[in-house]
């Protein structure tokens, strides 16, 4: 508590204006923990206490989830003047920019406004005999600090925020992330059992992420069991996020039409049912056209002895499959299905696309 003592001494010395600022600021003692049930139950991100504890440092957990307050003048972002964005440290929600920050001399990072779009939620806080407005991240319910109407800029507002509730991303890092995301694209494909298709794309150079899931049916968030009945209309699919500077839409599609049989209606080998149908869910005209071009070419050249039956339909929604389906082949290589069904597809892929395989 030595820190508080020195601040009190400083405040006494500095006079009444600073005293009023400090006492109307976020300042609370360690006895100020508020019952966790008051954390916003409407937040989109809901995690258990154990999950938050695992994700956050003990200090962050104390502030964000127990509504604690860091000691004044202790936060690493208090004096930060770099250009960039301040995000919620618990969920990454972008809350403030450098242009909104000002020196309030209250001991905590202060902002005169928030990034618009309902990113911050205000709640009445009548604890400690004071009437204050608490501010929470609207996305995860994390406690940020308090909002006061004594700001010195034209907004008249002062968002008094704990450094521990914030992550700062500087301009250089933001530009790097923007360039990266501009070169990424996503395509959703169904080519029979998603374990097989996922295993192949994970090896392709330029593929950033492959997720197994369900698309094209009625109803949200189906389970594997429901999809397996064939009555929900969903297909087993993989959602591929790839880097256009390292691979291309055409290459993603070439791999697709090589490693599965696009001529068997609602079937891949012994796997039968509409959930195993061959389908491309396009997100834009470019994806639709590229898919149709390859299908036309394969039909024209009679690459397969029978006509292509692959559906080309607009993308609506993707529902991620249960955890145990993700990366199934790599985690279950000894399983007979992996050896008999997936392994031959991988070998075919390796043979045809040997120059395109990720270097480990
Ligand atoms: Zn948050």
- Shared-domain flag, residues 30 and 66: yes
93 CA from centroid of ligand 1 (Å): 5
137 CA from centroid of ligand 1 (Å): 5
What pLDDT is recorded for position 6?
35
In the set 106, 140, 193, 338, the catalytic residue is 193
Task: Provide the whole-model pTM.
Answer: 0.63
Q: List residues bridging with 132 in a β-sheet.
A: 125
- Shared-domain flag, residues 188 and 163: no
pLDDT per residue over 228-258, tens digit each?
999 999 999 999 999 999 999 999 999 999 9
Which region among 27-41, 254-268, 308-322 has the lowest average model confidence (pLDDT)? Answer: 27-41
* Whole-number Å distance between alpha carbons of 202 and 185: 15
- Shared-domain flag, residues 135 and 214: no
Instruction: Say whether pLDDT at 25 is over 50.
Output: no
- Shared-domain flag, residues 169 and 197: no
- Shared-domain flag, residues 201 and 331: yes
Q: Long-range contacts for 77-82 (Cβ within 8 Å, ≥24 apart)?
A: 77/109, 77/163, 77/166, 77/168, 78/107, 78/108, 78/109, 78/163, 80/109, 80/168, 82/168, 82/170, 82/171
140 CA from centroid of ligand 1 (Å): 4
Q: By residue range, what is the domain housing residue 344?
A: 183-356
Count of structural domains within the chain: 2
Active-site residue 193, yes or no? yes
- Shared-domain flag, residues 156 and 191: no
8 CA from centroid of ligand 1 (Å): 32
Over residues 188-212, mean pLDDT: 94
Active-site residue 228, yes or no? no
In the set 137, 160, 196, 338, the catalytic residue is 160
pLDDT per residue over 159-177, tens digit each?
999 999 999 999 999 999 8
Q: What is the token pair recorded at 315?
A: 């993308």
CATH number at residue 344: 3.30.1060.10
- Shared-domain flag, residues 93 and 153: yes
pLDDT per residue over 45-85, tens digit each?
888 999 999 999 999 999 999 999 999 999 999 999 999 99
What pLDDT is recorded for position 9?
35
Mean pLDDT over the full length of the chain: 88
119 CA from centroid of ligand 1 (Å): 9
Alpha helices in 153-284 (DSSP H): 171-182, 194-201, 224-228, 249-259
**CA atoms 208, 214, 220, 223: torsion sign:** negative
Which region among 94-108, 110-124, 261-275, 346-360 has the lowest average model confidence (pLDDT)? Answer: 346-360
pLDDT per residue over 327-344, tens digit each?
888 888 888 888 888 888
- Shared-domain flag, residues 168 and 199: no
Hunting for tokens 């993989």 — which residue is that? 238
- Shared-domain flag, residues 195 and 137: no
Smallest Cα–Cα separation from 29: which of 84, 70, 59? 70
- Shared-domain flag, residues 209 and 265: yes
45 CA from centroid of ligand 1 (Å): 8
């Amino acid at each position: 508590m030595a820190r508080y003592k020195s601040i009190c001494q400083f405040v006494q010395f500095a006079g009444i204006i600073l005293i009023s600022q400090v006492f109307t600021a976020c300042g609370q003692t360690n006895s100020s923990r508020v019952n966790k049930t008051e954390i916003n139950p409407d937040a989109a991100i809901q995690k258990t206490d154990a999950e938050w504890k695992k994700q956050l440092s003990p200090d962050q957990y104390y502030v964000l989830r127990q509504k604690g307050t860091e000691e004044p003048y202790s936060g690493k972002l208090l004096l930060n003047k770099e250009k960039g964005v301040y995000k919620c440290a618990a969920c990454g929600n972008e809350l403030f920019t450098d242009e909104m920050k000002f020196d309030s001399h209250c001991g905590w990072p202060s902002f005169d406004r928030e990034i618009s779009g309902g990113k911050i939620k205000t709640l009445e806080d009548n604890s400690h005999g004071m009437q204050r407005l608490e501010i929470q991240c609207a996305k995860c319910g994390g406690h940020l600090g308090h909002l006061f109407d004594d700001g010195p800029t034209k907004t008249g507002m002062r968002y008094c925020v704990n450094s521990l509730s914030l992550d700062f991303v500087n301009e250089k890092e933001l530009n790097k992330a923007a360039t990266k995301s501009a070169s990424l694209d996503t395509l959703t494909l169904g080519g029979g059992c998603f374990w097989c298709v996922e295993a192949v794309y994970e090896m392709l150079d330029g593929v950033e992420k492959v997720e197994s899931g369900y698309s094209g049916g009625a109803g949200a968030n189906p389970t594997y069991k429901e999809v397996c009945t064939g009555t929900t209309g969903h297909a087993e699919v993989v959602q591929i996020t790839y880097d256009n500077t390292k691979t291309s839409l055409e290459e993603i599609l070439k791999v697709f039409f090589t490693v599965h049989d696009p001529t068997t209606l609602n079937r891949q080998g012994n796997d039968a049912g509409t959930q195993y149908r061959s389908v491309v869910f396009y997100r834009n005209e470019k994806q639709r056209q590229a898919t149709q071009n390859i299908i036309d070419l394969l039909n024209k050249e009679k690459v397969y002895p029978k006509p292509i039956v692959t559906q080309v339909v607009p993308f609506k929604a993707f529902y991620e499959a249960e955890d145990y389906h993700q990366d199934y082949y790599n985690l279950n290589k000894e399983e007979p299905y992996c050896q008999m069904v997936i392994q031959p597809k991988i070998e075919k892929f390796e043979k045809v696309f040997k120059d395109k395989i990720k270097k480990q």
